[in-house]
Amino acid sequence: YLPLPGAVSDPWKLMLLDATFRAVQQTCHLIHYLRLSHHLIALNYLICTFDKLKSVSSEDIKITDAVFDGVEVRVFEPPAKGDESLRRSVVYFHGGGWALASARTSLYNNLCRIMAESLNAVVVSVEYRLVPEVCFPEQYHDALRATKHFLQPDVLAEYSVDPSRIAVSGDSAGGNLAAAVCQQLSKDEDLPVRPKLQALIYPVLQAFDFNTPSYQQNMNMPVLPRYVMINYWIDYLNGNYDLAHELLINNHTALNVGRALSFHARLNWTSLLPASFKKNYQPVVQTTGTAGIVEQLPALLDVRAVPLLADDATLARQPRSYVLTCENDVLRDDGAMYAKRLERAGVRVTLDHFHDCFHGCMIFTVWPTDFSAGVQTRNSYIKWLDENL
């Protein structure tokens, strides 16, 4: 498949990146087929082998690796300024389908360094465990434990962080974890410190409907076609790839699936999306589906995995929010629906939509994967944090 020229910024460079990634994936699937290693382990090994950085501090930013309640983190600290004793902070969860990448790869190392420098903020990048080593809910538990540890007053004091100026953020699968963590923190009545903001970058927030307009429009779009996102969900929830087609046609949330019935109103994109997103696409709602899918994968309806399924009372407790979406992304509507539901629940929300950008673009700002879309989205995201944190 080829994206239309002009449909995204830097289209030919994006096709080259996607072709390279697909070739590497095919190699890793061959390794899996030969039973030499799990394909995700092989893929992540290749990514991290060529990309991992050592914990080296510079004159501008101090970078250290630490352990927060059993969870590895990388902390980026700007130099102290004489005119202020406390700094703001961002807890960040990297993307990668809950299975790939690392807080230590150059792409995320570079992002978090720039955030720390631009915001004069302490950035905590969480190194949660990955699929297939662990599956849901362990990534969520790692993210929650590390965040709650950091929010302890004595830990904040150790890093000279202002307890009233903390954001929780993440991109893609990391945006999923950030949203889920914020929802849980909002329910913890004994928590002495709470996030001021949440900032979600093209987050993956639901596995209920794989036929939203953005899933239909971008089903073959680099670098995250629909079938790849479905497989990430199956891996995360420790399911079987044989379910992929059932999920693709929404058989798991058909009208005869009683456990899913009550959630349809919360993900009714016909009422949650603007006309510019809906275009002429039609809902795909099966009358008769396969109720056994939800029995096999109950996490499909677990709000810790699927934050968009949260009730209105939970959403009303969320902090001021920022949601970044890209037009050329299957996950566009996940973010837009969440922003609308938060807004209806009374939360102050900024939906920052980019018409010519694609999924994952914000981390691609360094040669040879340097995209104008990456710089554009990153600058907008950091600007919002700077103005609101």
| Mean pLDDT, residues 318-327 taken together | 98
Q: Which residues of 352-367 are buried (b: 16+ CB within 10 A; e: fewer)?
A: bbbebbbbbbbbbbee
Say which of 39, 94, 252, 359 is annotated catalytic: 359
For residue 295, being part of any structural domain is answered with yes
Q: What are phi and psi of 96, to 5 degrees?
A: 125, 25
- State pTM to two decimals: 0.93
Tokens standing for residue 246: 């059932």
Known catalytic residue at 172: yes
Say which of 18, 209, 329, 334 is annotated catalytic: 329
For residues 375 and 364, what is the distance between their CA atoms, to the nearest angstrom? Answer: 8
Does pLDDT of 189 surpass 60?
Answer: yes
Please, which pLDDT band fits residue 23 given cuts at 50, 70 and 90?
confident
Known catalytic residue at 334: no
Does pLDDT of 378 surpass 90?
Answer: yes
**Angle 48-244-249 from CA coordinates, rounded to 5°:** 130
Would you call 102 helix, strand, or coil by DSSP?
Answer: coil
Does pLDDT of 334 surpass 50?
Answer: yes
State residue 5's pLDDT score: 44
State residue 91's pLDDT score: 98
> CA dihedral defined by 343, 325, 237, 272, rounded to 10 degrees?
40
- In terms of Cβ atoms closer than 10 Å to its own Cβ (0-12, 13-18, 19+), residue 240 is exposed
| Mean pLDDT, residues 363-386 taken together | 89
**CATH value at residue 97:** 3.40.50.1820
For residue 44, being part of any structural domain is answered with no
For residues 62 and 127, what is the distance between their CA atoms, to the nearest angstrom? Answer: 18
Range of the domain at 354: 63-388
Known catalytic residue at 102: no
Residue with more model confidence, 223 or 362: 362
Q: What's the domain count of the chain?
A: 1
For residue 33, being part of any structural domain is answered with no
Does pLDDT of 16 surpass 90?
Answer: no
Would you call 155 helix, strand, or coil by DSSP?
Answer: helix
For residue 52, being part of any structural domain is answered with no
State residue 260's pLDDT score: 95
For residue 209, being part of any structural domain is answered with yes
Say which of 125, 172, 186, 214 is annotated catalytic: 172
Residue 105 makes CB contacts below 8 A (sequence gap 6+) with 47, 48, 51, 52, 53, 94
State residue 231's pLDDT score: 96
For residue 119, being part of any structural domain is answered with yes
Give the rounded distance of the alpha carbon of 182 from its chain centre: 13
Please, which pLDDT band fits residue 31 given cuts at 50, 70 and 90?
confident
Helices (H), the chain: 11-33, 39-51, 106-119, 138-150, 153-158, 173-187, 213-217, 226-236, 244-248, 258-261, 269-272, 275-278, 292-296, 312-316, 332-344, 372-388
For residue 13, being part of any structural domain is answered with no
For residue 155, being part of any structural domain is answered with yes
For residues 281 and 371, what is the distance between their CA atoms, to the nearest angstrom? Answer: 30
For residues 120 and 77, what is the distance between their CA atoms, to the nearest angstrom? Answer: 8
